[in-house]
Structures are given as structure tokens and as C-alpha cells.
Structure 1
Amino acid sequence: MIKQAIFLVGGAGTRLGSITRSTPKPLLELAPGTAFLDLLIDEAARHGFTDILLLSGYLGGQVEQRYHGRRVRDSRLRVLREEEPAGTAGALRRVSAELDPWFLLANGDSFFDINLRRLASVPRGSALGCLALRHVQDTSRFGGVTLEGDRIVDFSEKRGERGPGLINGGLYCLSREIQDRLPAIGSLEGQVFPSLAREGLLLGIEQSGYFIDIGLPESLDQARRCLPQLMTRPAAFLDRDGILNVDHGYTHRPEDLTWIPEAREAVRDLNDAGYFVFVVTNQAGIAHGFYTEAAMDDFHAEMARQLADVGAHVDAFYHCPYHPEASVARLKTPAHADRKPNPGMILRALRDWPVRPAGSFLIGDRDTDIEAASRAGLPGYLYRGGSLRMTVNQAWAACAGPRPKLGGELTCAS
């Protein structure tokens, strides 16, 4: 499971003119108190990347002051500053000792709304990297990418021939072995990637999520209008035992994890559609002293690892360890607000995350699950066996489908 995400945040943003004279481009605000980079970091964190590096340069002290040593969700942030500009390739080379065997690399001035775990799970074989690609109506501003099968074979220059085509979306899954190809000063996009493409060592995966970069004043304005609304998403609330994993009776050991048919694929479908995915599970086994919360956390970590293998992730696990007949005294309570059929876990998720209720739903295997959803004001659907993926599709249809994608790289809903 790839856990490292690196953001290139060292550019001067010269095309933005006076806007970036005293503020690094990634720290430009989308809304009061919320920087563009905040959004990118939160996306990486919710996808389960726990080691986040920010490679800063221009006005890097501001980046360091804002982020170094912070934690976002379960992720640790580090800022590594370059003293002299070395380009995107040079910046990466200077931190080669910090690189994991495989890592996510992202431009700090563009946002591509995709399932990051799908990019990180693409079968790579002998390739040294995989790029997320986006189809746009005019490639001349960005430079085009030629994809043959799953291999990138060519890049075209910016301001080249106008017309529709694929562009580099600014999100990469790279091997540490790429460090041997990095110049001391130079560009990943202009030098390293074209060389790898000529050798057949670079993969591409086309994705259709909303894309925008903030390199021009008009695109920055567009981001400020669009991205706050885009960050609210519908959510799928999933019970755990009997929905995602086979219920063996107080299941808690990682070696006992057995997936319900097409459960991981169902989670990936939700991720691809832009849904938040939350697990809401009663865990009476903790209340009865059969296992600890730490053991449950280990089980959830194994679930996350095996989900990542297929390009899926859960945004957050919510659990209730309380029970009216608990043998652990501190966990004994007649009707805890979190224990289903009470809606406490769902309501906490609604407070913790920017959930859009329209289109949200719960899937469970008991009437208590459905009642908890109803008390939280959400529709609930019973899973009755077979493919969980089919049940998810039925829930989508009943909820009028997943959220509409905002079309184009510079358009958004009015």
C-alpha cells in the first residue's frame, strides 16, 4: 500500500503577476482561511496517504510555517525547502533519500478530482511511473499527451496545435528508481517524462474528474467559484460485519478478514463516483471484553490495505464500543447515542465531513441499520446477500444516481 504523497509547491507563479508577489501560489485562498494547498493535502489524507511531503521553494518560509510538523487526519506533514530553484526534476532529486519505493507525486497548483487510490493501484510491471490524464477541448495551453493502449508514447509542447485531446493532469505514481533519471536542474514534464515515454516506461490512465489549475488569474477565479461547492460530496454509509466482511462472530483478527462478494469493488465504484465512504459499525465485542479497540484498529488497517490493492479506500471508520450488557464497566450504558439503531455515528460523520445529504444513503443488513439511517434523515437499504456491488448500484438508482461531475477543466455548475 503506497502511503507517501509528495507535492511540488516551489514555483513562483509568474503568470499570476502581482497576486503571488507576497504569497506562494499554492497558498492563495479559495475562501477565507482556506488555501488551495489545504484542499490538496486533505484529499491525499482522506485517501490514506499518511506521509505527506511538501517541496517548497519560492517564499517557502510561509509554507513551512503553515504546515511543517502538522497532522491532517492521520497524515504527518513535512516541508522540505530548496534554497535555489532547480525545477520539478531537480526538486525531486534533492529529496531522493526521503522517497518510498513507490509514491504519489502531485503538482501543487492543480486539482484533479479523481480516486487517488485507483491511480496508485495501476499494475505497473516494468514501468517507472503512471500519469493521470484528462481529456480537454483545447490542449494548447497545457501540452498534449499521446496514449497508445496503456503506454504514453509522446508529449506535445504548450501553445502547440489547438484542439481536443489528453493532457497531463498533474498527478503521478512514480517509482523511486526514477531518481537515476533526474537531472540536478530541470523539468519532469519537459525532460524526464518524454524520455521515459520514448523508452516505453511511462503508463497513462485517463480519468474524467473535474480538473483545474490556478496558473492564470481567470482560472484562479474559477477555482474560487467552483471548488468550495465541489468539496461537498454525497456519502455512502456502510455497516461492516455482513456488509463488507463476512461476519464470523465478533470478527476482529486480520487473518479472519473475508470479503463479501464484490465488496471491495463496490467501495471502489463509490470512490470513483466521488462519494465519501464511511463505515458505521456496532462493536459489542469490545464492550464484552472479547478484544480491544487497538485490535479493531488493526483489523481496519488490514481492510484499508486490501482495499488499496484494488484501488479503493474508506474515508473514515466510525465504531460504537458501548452495549447495555457490557462486561467492561466503562462501556456499559443502556442506550448510547452511537449504538444503532441510534444515529450518533452517522450524525458525527455529517458534522466531521462536508457531506451533501442529497444522494447519500446507508447500506446495512439489519433493521437497526435502516432505523439509524432514518433517524439521521437518510435512506437506508438492506443487503440481502450476493454481490454488494449490485446493492450499491440499486441504492444509487433509488437516490437519483451519484453526484453529477462538473464538466470541463474551466467550467462548473452555476
Structure 2
Amino acid sequence: MTRVKQALFLVGGRGTRLGALSANTPKPMQEIAPGVRFLDLILENAARMGFTDLVLLAGHLGDKVEEAYDGQRIGEAAIRVVRESQPMGTGGALAQAAQVLDEHFVLLNGDSFFDINLRALTAAPLPEGGGRLALRMVEDTARYGSVQLDGARISAFIEKNPDLTGPGLINGGIYYLDRAMVSRIEAPSSIESDVFPELVKVGRLEGLPFDGYFLDIGLPETLAQAQRETAAMRVRPAAFLDRDGVLNEDHGYTHRVDDLTWIPGAREAIRLLNDRGYRVIVVTNQAGVARGYYEEEAIGVFHAGMQAQLAEEGAFVDAFYHCPFHADGKVPAYTVEDHPDRKPNPGMILRALNDWQVNREASFLIGDKPSDMEAARRAGLPGHLYTGGDLRAFVSGIIGPG
């Protein structure tokens, strides 16, 4: 199954319940901290999970969205804006973007933040022409309405009703969809109230519960809550992982995807870290480039292969850092004495700490060599020496089983 790379964001609502706050600023562009918009948080989260085509479906004040985001990048992810010609609801906004849709894509509400592993949502195949919704258990569904499950399939949507109180599953505002379902949309319409119930009738809509932090900013009090809580959530602990000998078997200068053999429990370990909210950052010495065994570009191809196989397990690596330099190289451009990135030097770790918002106190490194432990020490992080066995069990011993 091809790794899903496209994520679309519904950012066209008027935000009438926010009153004057949304009169000149789109609801998703409300600031949660000086210079940080609510939408920034959602886009950054999708980009770190490897979604590289970020499409904003804009409507109300679409010029403001376009001016702020169109053509911008977050790492390897590119942002583009598609503006609806007239207000046509969430279903209509998606239908008008039909020409830009990949075969499978994730659709997210731009005015709510649900802190989940999107790769877990996209791991399993979709019902043909259907979709899968991320669901959240809440203590009281009265404000939201609820969703009923029959196994993995959604069996019913219950409209919000102040008299129907108590715990239950709600729509988390994140959807994994098959492009073919767009043919069911008759604009103007609501994808939630018009399209999804039709998919339920034909058994083509699934639900997957998640436990992550959830907040929508539809009310002044919830926007205030977002300003108190969500900006700090951009800072996450990081698990720095060596590659050869920790994630994949070390065959000696391993660089071909065909030679990728995962360490037992490695993909499951990364999934555990993803689900627990850690940034997963790989730091790997790759002296084979300096020695002339393979080109530096081969490293990127190998890492793309790892990401594709991880996606099948609902897992992802936030970032890869590699050092192609070595003192005893055969390629002059890569022959460097004691390069600051080459472990035991901490250069790769320090660069990652600078590039990403990381909670250092809760971060750590796992490696299989003394040079890994020394790099961690020099970077001021605890190091854990992996000597074999199931990597998920090893990681669980560090962060707890969850």
C-alpha cells in the first residue's frame, strides 16, 4: 500500500460563535501564542508525520489564508490553498477540490486539534469508496452528538441533544478518505451530516477510537483554553535512535532497501513512541559514502523505504540525520577528520535539538555502540545501550508500557 502523503484542511468556516474575534481573522488563524496561529499547530503536526502535500480549503476570508500560507513550506511539506468560489459547506469545499485529490487522503477540520498518530489512522486499507473517522471518547456527548460502532464499522450518528448526556464516542474531526467517495457529494452540503450518513447506510464508513488531547475552538472559552494549553504542546520529548544495529540489521554498510531487515520489535517500538507523543529522530553514521561504497543519495532512498514500511504499521520517523563523513575516506569531499556530526561527536543530536521543539529533560537516545552513548553524554541526554532482543520491549522499559 502506498504511503499517504496528502492532507487537506477545512479552513473556510465563518466562526460566528467567536463574534468579533473572527470578523477579520479566519477562525483557524486565531493566535494561540504571539506569532503562532492555531492552524500552525495542526499543519506542523501533519508535516512531522510525513504528509508532504498540505492543502488548505479556504472560503470565508480566503484571501487572508492565501496570503499567509500559499506557497509556504514546513520542512519537506509544501502548502497550497484552494479557495471555493462560493460558500458550499464542508462537502462542497471538498467537491470543488476534486481535481487536486490523491486517491487516498486525510481531511482535517482546521478549527480543532486532535493529537493523534495520523499514520495509525491510515495504516489499514479503506473500505472501497469509503472512509475511516478518528473518534474520541468524551465524558459527555451532549455538545457534540455521538457515534455508534459495530466492530470497526460506524452504525449510526446520534445528533447532539442536551438531553442525551453521558460518555460516548464523538467525531474527532479527522477523516481518512477514498477519493471515489467525492462522487457522492452534492454541493452545497455538509460532509458530516449529508455524506457520512450515506456511507454508513452502505457499510463503507469505519471508526477508530483514539485517546489523544482534543479541543475545538468554536467558542470564545475554548479558544481561550487553546491559548492556555496548546502552544506548549508543540514541545515534545524526543527519542533519538541509532539506525544500523538498532532499527535494522547491520549487514555492513547497509544502503539498499532490498537489504532492509528490521530488528525484532523495531517498527512496533517506533509505533509505541509515536502513540505516546515522542518525536522519533534517527541519527546515523554513514561512512560508506566517504569510503565510496554508495552515493549520499542512496541514504535518502533507504530512509524513504523505511518510512513506507513503517506506514504499513501505523508508524513514522519525524526526521533522519546522517553523517557521511569519515577520516579514512576515499572520496575527498567526504574525507574529514573528526567531523562534528560523526558520533561520538554530538553534532547530529544538537542540530536536531535546534531544528525541532524538544523537551530535553524527557528525551533520550538508544544506540548499540559506546560511541552512541558518548554522543548522548556530550549532548546532555541519557543514553541506553541496546544489546539485542525485542526493541519494543526495550523501549517499554524506558518509557513504560503505556
Q: Do the two structures share a fold, i.e. TM-score over 0.5?
A: yes
* 1:358 partner SS: helix
Superposition deviation, residue 115 in structure 1: 0.4
Superposition deviation, residue 198 in structure 1: 2.3
* 1:347 partner SS: helix
Match of 2:47 among 20, 45, 48: 45
Per the alignment, residue 220 of structure 2 pairs with: 217
The answer (yes or no) to whether the contact 1:127–1:203 under 8 Å persists in 2 is no
The answer (yes or no) to whether the contact 2:326–2:337 under 8 Å persists in 1 is yes
Superposition deviation, residue 141 in structure 1: 1.3
Using the alignment, how far apart are the partners of 1:394 and 1:371 within structure 2?
21
Letter in 1 for 2:198: S
Per the alignment, residue 92 of structure 1 pairs with: 94
Using the alignment, how far apart are the partners of 1:15 and 1:246 within structure 2?
55
* 1:22 partner SS: coil
Letter in 2 for 1:78: R
Deviations for 1:178-202, whole angstroms, at most 9, x for unmatched residues? 1121111110111111121122111
Runs (5+) with no aligned partner, structure 2: none
Deviations for 1:253-283, whole angstroms, at most 9, x for unmatched residues? 1111111111111101100000000000001
* 2:388 partner SS: coil
* 1:284 partner SS: coil
The answer (yes or no) to whether the contact 1:357–1:378 under 8 Å persists in 2 is yes
Letter in 2 for 1:302: G
2:181 corresponds to 1:178: yes
Per the alignment, residue 254 of structure 1 pairs with: 257
Letter in 2 for 1:239: D
Deviates further, 71-80 or 204-213: 71-80
2:210 corresponds to 1:207: yes
Letter in 1 for 2:171: N
Superposition deviation, residue 127 in structure 1: 6.4
Runs (5+) with no aligned partner, structure 1: 403-414
The answer (yes or no) to whether the contact 1:154–1:194 under 8 Å persists in 2 is yes
The answer (yes or no) to whether the contact 1:324–1:335 under 8 Å persists in 2 is yes
Match of 1:331 among 322, 334, 339: 334
2:154 corresponds to 1:152: yes
* 2:362 partner SS: coil
Per the alignment, residue 3 of structure 1 pairs with: 5
The answer (yes or no) to whether the contact 1:90–1:183 under 8 Å persists in 2 is yes
Using the alignment, how far apart are the partners of 1:128 and 1:261 within structure 2?
34
Letter in 2 for 1:267: I
The answer (yes or no) to whether the contact 1:246–1:259 under 8 Å persists in 2 is yes
Deviations for 1:307-335, whole angstroms, at most 9, x for unmatched residues? 11111000000011111111222222221
* 2:8 partner SS: strand
After TM superposition, list the pairs within 5 Å mapping 1:69-218 onto structure 2.
Answer: 69-126=71-128, 128-160=130-162, 161-218=164-221
Per the alignment, residue 314 of structure 1 pairs with: 317
Using the alignment, how far apart are the partners of 2:209 and 2:129 within structure 1?
17
The answer (yes or no) to whether the contact 2:70–2:79 under 8 Å persists in 1 is yes
Using the alignment, how far apart are the partners of 2:118 and 2:361 within structure 1?
24
Per the alignment, residue 64 of structure 2 pairs with: 62
Letter in 1 for 2:320: F
Letter in 1 for 2:50: G
Using the alignment, how far apart are the partners of 2:286 and 2:95 within structure 1?
47
The answer (yes or no) to whether the contact 2:55–2:82 under 8 Å persists in 1 is yes
The answer (yes or no) to whether the contact 1:5–1:103 under 8 Å persists in 2 is yes
Match of 1:20 among 19, 22, 29: 22
Using the alignment, how far apart are the partners of 1:341 and 1:122 within structure 2?
39
The answer (yes or no) to whether the contact 1:54–1:77 under 8 Å persists in 2 is yes
Match of 1:292 among 282, 295, 299: 295
Superposition deviation, residue 125 in structure 1: 4.1
Deviations for 1:23-58, whole angstroms, at most 9, x for unmatched residues? 001111111111111111111111001111100000
Deviations for 1:49-84, whole angstroms, at most 9, x for unmatched residues? 111110000000011111111111111111000121
The answer (yes or no) to whether the contact 1:277–1:315 under 8 Å persists in 2 is yes
2:308 corresponds to 1:305: yes
Per the alignment, residue 408 of structure 1 pairs with: none
The answer (yes or no) to whether the contact 1:127–1:202 under 8 Å persists in 2 is no
Superposition deviation, residue 21 in structure 1: 0.3
Using the alignment, how far apart are the partners of 1:122 and 1:130 within structure 2?
10
Per the alignment, residue 411 of structure 1 pairs with: none
RMSD: 1.2
The answer (yes or no) to whether the contact 2:127–2:204 under 8 Å persists in 1 is no
The answer (yes or no) to whether the contact 1:113–1:210 under 8 Å persists in 2 is yes
Per the alignment, residue 278 of structure 1 pairs with: 281
2:396 corresponds to 1:371: no
* 2:200 partner SS: helix
The answer (yes or no) to whether the contact 1:30–1:223 under 8 Å persists in 2 is yes
* 1:193 partner SS: helix
Deviations for 1:361-383, whole angstroms, at most 9, x for unmatched residues? 11111010011111111111111
Per the alignment, residue 242 of structure 2 pairs with: 239
Superposition deviation, residue 358 in structure 1: 2.5
Superposition deviation, residue 128 in structure 1: 0.8
2:268 corresponds to 1:265: yes
Name the TM-score, length of structure 1 as normaliser: 0.94
The answer (yes or no) to whether the contact 1:271–1:313 under 8 Å persists in 2 is yes
Per the alignment, residue 412 of structure 1 pairs with: none
2:38 corresponds to 1:36: yes
Using the alignment, how far apart are the partners of 2:214 and 2:201 within structure 1?
27
Letter in 2 for 1:91: A
Using the alignment, how far apart are the partners of 1:374 and 1:131 within structure 2?
43
